[in-house]
Chains A and B, each alone.
Chain A
């Protein structure tokens, strides 16, 4: 009789489903003037914290507007979620996403609300606007500071060993040998989070454009290649050199980003090629150590042509599917983000990891030393945006090639040539002219 019981149970479940599901999928209609609930898609982690801080501050000022955060994974998985939901017109009311080539892939002119004529956009930094624009349209509002990509280093180790900040790769290599001789890890590598492997190549871009000023242009036009531009290939050479000379810590092939931060903060490792947003995480987990972390631009061939590569990370966008009271509320939220109150909220909520992208916004006096290091590159005119903000072409498997070189499985020449093919694939898939 047990089996009949089981069956009846199943049938009951089936019959009960419709009534239980009835509530799902109902849309709450927003009326003008009434309370508005905005859905807000963000990547879990740092983005989520930042979005939450801003949303909470806005709701405190405007109680009729509340936010419902939806989480998505970061990285390429998240890219797909965003694309799929935009294409199927099922996006949240607003969302938080990368600027640069990733934004262009969202087909913004078709899918996003153009903010170019909004009065609040006047205060947004023009260099930033370029990275969230396509054609005439400007689509995003910055919720983060700009970032430096280069080498985060432990100042204590530098002081203890009497080292000087290197301006050329040769000086950097010499420093590394001294650090290694002292029994510490010269360069932290965390290939378990493979995106971290790309910094040697990507953060080298200031040096690339210093040597080959039109690289971005001819690269986009299918003329310049990594394989036939020695300055561009240098990034891959550096990865190999680190492997050959044993600069990386033991177990680096599976180490995670978190472990890398810990090694840097606690002084087990001297250098970590990284973006400066890592400072937020270091401050959170090792508040006593973050003052010992400094930043220098990735050293290149020549000392007088050394400078920092700058990243613009995420921005807030509104999809075209948001209309009426929701659209008005979302735009007002954006105006808040770039207002002085908004900047004050950011300053209080999470430490800036680079200069603000809003005109007139000042960094607080107690800014982290590494952020000062970055600012001095920018103020001195020694900075350039990363390649991904200058060219829509970026091969999706760069990180795999970097890991393959950094673990000694592939030569730099081979990796550069294969990466060029990867780039060509992407350009073909984007349907770019000339590929």
Chain B
């Protein structure tokens, strides 16, 4: 038997060496290569040799006339995907934790897109969204609506990709919300049961008590949205032209072109941008976190 509540004793149960496996792996296989890449962002780097050129890459990256489209698209993508996933996944999670029929089946369905490779999903949807024979337009035509060039219309392409991103990623958001809802102690529901119906329950119990899950979903999908790449690459390649370019696709194209220093500078800029956006958001969320 040990003494209860002694602070030092309790700290002993949380030894610092528990950090080590994660920190060491992360430091060696992530931080070290990333830091050396930061050095290369200050060089003209052809893979075969590197010449130090100071901040020239940064100047070049920021003076790109096409950068503004990419920046705008990145923000739209991050905000819309995280917003839509949050707004759609919460009701879905409520539905899938309710007494509805075929619950297990639906849970599998919603989660299934998460399982398939992004490239495969991208290819499939780009065919479904084809202007002439694509299923989307065949359906539209069958109800007499005009055909839409989902990915070929420069004004629409980005939003079509966002739609697919939400479709593919909503499974994870839903599972996080479901875990949150199921963790709500029954007493809370019992307390409001007498007073009212579903809306009361949703507004006064579920929404406030799944706050931690909401934060996780928003944060993860916002970061994921800002650094999204695979899906855009598979569906539009940033096109038509520059219409759906985001920061990561611009950076990747520079990388492809062999501008390794320049693209690394772009990565550093992306990193700073995400940090500036995400850290305040995260500490705000942390300060409002609830412990059940």
Contacts and interface: CB of A to CB of B under 8 A. Distances in A.
Interface of A: 76-77, 79-80, 83-84, 86-87, 105, 107, 110-111, 191-192, 194, 250-254, 396-397, 400-401, 403-405, 407, 409-410, 418, 421, 425-426, 428-431
B112 to A, nearest CB: 22
Contacts of A251: 130-132, 149, 152
A370 B258 CA distance: 35
A409 B154 CA distance: 8
Given A191-B240, A194-B239, A254 B258 contact: no
Contacts of A77: 256
Interface in B229-257: 237-243, 245, 253-257
A285 to B, nearest CB: 18
A116 B187 CA distance: 84
A76 B241 contact: no
A409 B51 CA distance: 37
A87 to B, nearest CB: 4
12 contacts: A79-B256, A83-B258, A107-B48, A191-B240, A253-B152, A253-B153, A254-B129, A396-B257, A403-B241, A404-B241, A407-B154, A429-B261
B51 A431 contact: yes
Given A253-B149, A400-B241, A429-B262, A76 B257 contact: yes
Nearest to B57: A429
Given A107-B46, A405-B241, A429-B259, 14 more contacts: A105-B258, A111-B48, A191-B239, A252-B152, A253-B152, A400-B239, A401-B241, A404-B242, A407-B152, A418-B66, A425-B60, A428-B56, A429-B258, A429-B262
Contact of B238 (A107, A400, A401): A400
Contact of A404 (B240, B253, B257): B240
A76 B259 contact: no
Contacts of A86: 47-48
Given A404-B241, A418-B65, A429-B44, A254 B60 contact: no
Contact of A254 (B44, B149, B242, B262): B149
Contacts of A403: 239-241
Nearest to A431: B44
A409 B47 contact: no
Interface residues of B, number: 37
B151 interface: yes
Contacts of B243: 404, 409
Q: Which 5 pairs from chain A and chain B are nearest by CB? A: A253-B152, A404-B241, A396-B257, A76-B256, A251-B131
A430 B66 CA distance: 21
Nearest to A403: B241
A251 B127 CA distance: 12
A254 B126 contact: yes
Nearest to A402: B241
B156 to A, nearest CB: 11
A418 B64 CA distance: 9
A425 B48 contact: no
A84 B254 CA distance: 15
A429 B261 CA distance: 8
Given A87-B47, A250-B132, A254-B130, A410 B258 contact: no
A396 B47 contact: no
B51 A76 contact: no
A407 B262 CA distance: 28
A302 B256 CA distance: 38
Find the residue from B64, B130, B240, B253 having the highest chain A CB count within 10 A: B240
**Chain B: interface secondary structure?**
loop
Contacts of A76: 253, 256-257
A25 B74 CA distance: 40
B165 to A, nearest CB: 18
Nearest to A430: B46
Given A251-B130, A251-B132, A83 B47 contact: yes
B212 to A, nearest CB: 23
Interface in B253-271: 253-259, 261-262
Contacts of A407: 152, 154, 240-241
B257 A426 contact: yes
Contacts of A111: 48
Contacts of B242: 400, 404, 409
Contacts of A84: 47
B151 A254 contact: yes
Contacts of A418: 65-66
Contacts of B56: 428
A407 B244 CA distance: 14
Contacts of B47: 83-84, 86-87
A376 B253 CA distance: 38
B141 to A, nearest CB: 13
Interface in B36-77: 44, 46-48, 51, 56, 60, 64-66
A192 B130 CA distance: 10
A428 B254 CA distance: 13
Contacts of A80: 255-256, 258
Contact of A410 (B132, B238, B241, B254): B241
A84 B258 CA distance: 10
A164 to B, nearest CB: 32
Contacts of A404: 240-243
A154 B110 CA distance: 48
B60 A250 contact: no
B157 to A, nearest CB: 9
A252 B152 CA distance: 8
A421 B66 CA distance: 11
A432 B254 CA distance: 17
A76 B256 CA distance: 5
A264 B237 CA distance: 25
Interface in B130-164: 130-132, 149, 151-154
A252 B56 CA distance: 39
A397 B253 contact: yes
B44 to A, nearest CB: 6
Contacts of B154: 253, 407, 409
A84 to B, nearest CB: 7
Contacts of B253: 76, 396-397
Given A79-B256, A253-B152, A87 B48 contact: yes
A68 B16 CA distance: 50
Q: Which of A80, A86, A418, A430 has the most CB of B within 10 A?
A: A80
Contacts of A192: 126
A80 B47 CA distance: 10
Contact of B152 (A254, A425, A431): A254
